[in-house]
Amino acid sequence: MLKEFKEFATRGNIMDLAVGVVIGGAFQAIINSLVSDIIMPIVSIITGKVDFSDMVFTVGDVSIKYGNFITAIVNFLIIAFSIFLAITYLNKLNKKMEAISLGKVEKFSKKLKKSKKKEDIVTEPTVKICPFCFSEINYKSTRCAHCTSELEEVNRTIVDNI
């Protein structure tokens, strides 16, 4: 069971997730400070020196701190918007990288197609048929490997008749 947990914990996706959680926690601390130390005081100035952390609704002995809840909502909105911007930027970057790599592949394939036109490629046959035993032999052979007939005279005769 310990071995299975070790394999699970050391997988690439789990490590990426762990790094993301740690960075997310640090990012949350930065956003909390931004909201509580900069944004909410500015909102307090605009709304007439209202301190959101002091906003409490009391029912009997229970106090409901809705000011902290408003602060948490502002924190969430800023974090969500920041993540949205980061993901949007990364998606655009990935699309550009895909387009660049796809463009390179297309450019290479166009070059390949241009260099492989039928007029440009001169293909020389690699085999021929022996006229005596009808076996397949190398095109440059002067004697058949199967029946040992000389093929040079036959080739000259065929060329002379054409």
Q: Residue ranges of the domains in the chain?
A: 2-115, 127-161
Q: What is the pLDDT of residues 102-158, one digit of tens each?
A: 777 676 666 666 655 555 555 677 888 888 888 888 888 888 888 888 877 554 445
* CATH 3.20.20.120 describes domain 2-115: no
Q: What is the mean pLDDT of the chain?
A: 78
Q: How would DSSP label each residue in 44-82?
A: HHHHTS--GGG--EEETTEEE-HHHHHHHHHHHHHHHHH
Report pTM: 0.48
How many beta carbons lie within 10 A of that of residue 64, not counting itself?
12
pLDDT band (50, 70, 90) for residue 159: very low
